[in-house]
């Protein structure tokens, strides 16, 4: 990390210039260490949306957005997606290494032992309306887990954090399934840890969705989890904050929003109406965006989208849905957008959510459940990042500063005298 390079900031207001250390990561852009800036100069930096700010150091996931590269613990996503299953990837993200056969058996057993949720959870569920959005339910249920596991709430105890990690990874699928069963008014099914595989292609597709969503460095929901946990709250509360952030359509909610968008274009008249829709997207006075397109970091193809596109073809062929009108529409939309100067000049490419929705819909997963599926896959990333933060001796409560632009101090006028 340390490096002899320095950056010098000079000021035009008479403040003495300051020399700041430049830190080097294992790979990727260097980072200017500004921690002493305020103490020395009395000035803050300004970077809404963190366009140029590294908020932490991390050794979990690396993205090179210009190359379209994604590595978990150094392994390319393409190799993981084709050679490993989701629980192997969870082990990698959580503990830093792929498991050997004995470690895998042990890890799978530990996860499987925790798939059941407390019976009281179903009474908690009853408080929700049947038509509640699954992400509303998930935000409540995951936060609610902290009421059930007081024995694994201490964020500063590594063993308790590990137990919480396994509980969260194991229970999220059960909670998502409960949210679904509740929404359709059917009885819950207790987790069955040994199922016979009905269709290899569909199982592989789901596993791939999980692997591709398992972690993605300091994205909005992960940063939310880190920020929330930095106060010392318990892991369940911090992950619930991540679930809430993920729900937004600019982030994990994009998969649902993308499928709804495809449905709307289909209703407007399908492929024929793509031009009209793209005109709306490009109109700066409209708020319409091409959902499933664009990414803060990827300015080249999203490598996850490439893999998901492949899976999309496999699943639709397997299910005899090659002529599925939504898929055809998505392909036509992608082609037109990739040739249009608006998208080309802004380096907007399809992201993973452009395809994951089509795959999930083909498998039979209801559209409102898509983001909850994303949440269950991302849980391992959230918890690994949280663990990494707590173990980092440099970690502090996250507390951004601001550029205040409101009223300066003034005096209260008695109500009778206010005009």
Residue ranges binding ligand ACO (CB under 6 A): 250-252, 254, 281, 289-296, 346, 348, 351-353
CB of 352 to ligand ACO, least distance (A): 6
Angle 317-75-380 from CA coordinates, rounded to 5°:
80
Nearer to ligand ACO, 82 or 286 (CB): 286
174 Cβ contact list (under 8 Å, min separation 6): 115, 116, 117, 191
Concerning whether 30 is annotated as a catalytic residue, the answer is no
The residues, ordered by sequence, that sit 6+ positions from 368 with a Cβ below 8 Å of its Cβ are 133, 134, 135, 183, 256
Catalytic residue among 133, 213, 216, 295: 295
The answer to whether the CB of 255 falls within 8 A of the CB of 351 is no
Is the CB of 237 or the CB of 290 nearer to ligand ACO? 290
Which of 207, 215, 302, 353 is catalytic? The answer is 353
User: Side by side, which strands form the sheet with 6-9?
Assistant: 6-9, 18-23, 31-32
Distance CA 121, CA 391 (A): 31
Distance (Å, whole) CA 339 – CA 13: 48
Q: Give the nearest residue (CB) to ligand ACO.
A: 294
**Helix axes 158-183 and 370-391, enclosed angle (nearest 10):** 170
Q: Which is nearer to ligand ACO, 293 or 327 (CB)?
A: 293
Compare residues 99 and 357 and give the one whose CB is closer to ligand ACO: 357
**In the bound complex, what is the minimum distance in angstroms from residue 293's beta carbon to ligand ACO?**
4
Nearest to 1 by CA among 40, 44, 51, 59: 59
Smallest gap from Cβ 103 to ligand ACO, in A, equals 30
Q: Quick one: 174 or 224, whose CB is closer to ligand ACO?
A: 224
Known active-site residue 151: no
CB of 301 to ligand ACO, least distance (A): 13
E strand or H helix that includes residue 43: none
Tell me which residue has tokens 């982030």: 251
Q: How far is the CB of 219 from ligand ACO (least distance, A)?
A: 6
Say which residue the tokens 């993973």 belong to. 352
Q: Which letter does DSSP use for residue 413 in this model? A: P
3-state class of 87 per DSSP?
Answer: helix
Q: Which residues, 6+ apart, have CB-to-CB distance to 245 below 8 Å?
A: 220, 221, 224, 251
Cα separation, 336 vs 314, whole angstroms: 23
Q: Cβ 179 to ligand ACO, closest distance in Å?
A: 20
Q: Which is nearer to ligand ACO, 289 or 313 (CB)?
A: 289
Task: List residues with catalytic annotation.
Answer: 295, 353
């Amino acid at each position: 990390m340390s490096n002899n390079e320095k950056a010098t900031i000079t000021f035009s207001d008479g403040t003495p210039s300051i020399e700041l250390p430049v830190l080097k990561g294992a790979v990727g852009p260097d980072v200017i260490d500004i921690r002493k800036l305020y103490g020395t100069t009395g000035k803050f930096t300004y970077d809404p949306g963190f366009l140029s700010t590294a908020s932490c150091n991390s050794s979990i996931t690396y993205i090179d957005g210009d190359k379209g590269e994604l590595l978990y613990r150094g392994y390319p996503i393409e190799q993981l997606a084709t050679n490993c299953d989701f629980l192997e990837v969870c082990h990698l993200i959580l503990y830093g290494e792929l498991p050997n056969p004995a470690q895998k058996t042990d890890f799978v057993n530990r996860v499987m032992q925790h798939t059941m949720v407390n019976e009281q959870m179903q009474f908690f569920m009853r408080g929700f309306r049947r038509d509640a959005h699954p992400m509303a339910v998930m935000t409540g249920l995951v936060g609610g887990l902290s009421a059930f596991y007081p024995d694994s709430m201490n964020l500063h105890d590594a063993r308790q954090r590990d137990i919480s990690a396994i509980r969260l990874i194991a229970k999220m699928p059960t909670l998502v399934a409960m949210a679904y069963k509740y929404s359709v008014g059917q009885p819950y099914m207790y987790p069955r840890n040994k199922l016979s595989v009905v269709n290899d292609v569909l199982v592989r597709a789901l596993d791939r969705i999980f692997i591709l969503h398992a972690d993605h460095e300091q994205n909005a929901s992960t940063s939310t989890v880190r920020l929330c946990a930095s106060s010392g709250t318990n892991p369940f509360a911090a992950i619930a904050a991540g679930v809430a952030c993920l729900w937004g359509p600019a982030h994990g909610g994009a998969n649902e929003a993308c499928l709804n968008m495809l449905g709307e274009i289909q209703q407007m008249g399908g492929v024929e109406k793509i031009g009209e829709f793209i005109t709306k997207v490009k109109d700066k006075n409209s708020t319409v965006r091409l959902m499933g397109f664009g990414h803060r970091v990827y300015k080249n193809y999203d490598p996850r989208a490439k893999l998901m596109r492949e899976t999309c073809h496999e699943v639709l062929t397997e299910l005899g849905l090659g002529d599925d009108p939504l898929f055809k529409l998505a392909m036509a939309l992608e082609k037109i957008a990739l040739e249009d100067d608006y998208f080309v000049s802004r380096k907007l490419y399809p992201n993973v959510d452009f395809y994951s929705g089509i795959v999930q819909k083909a498998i039979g997963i209801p559209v409102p459940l898509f983001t909850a599926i994303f949440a269950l896959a991302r849980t391992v990333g959230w918890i690994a990042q949280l663990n990494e933060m707590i173990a980092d001796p440099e970690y502090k409560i996250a507390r951004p500063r601001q550029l205040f632009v409101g009223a300066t101090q003034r005096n209260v006028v008695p109500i009778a005298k206010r005009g």
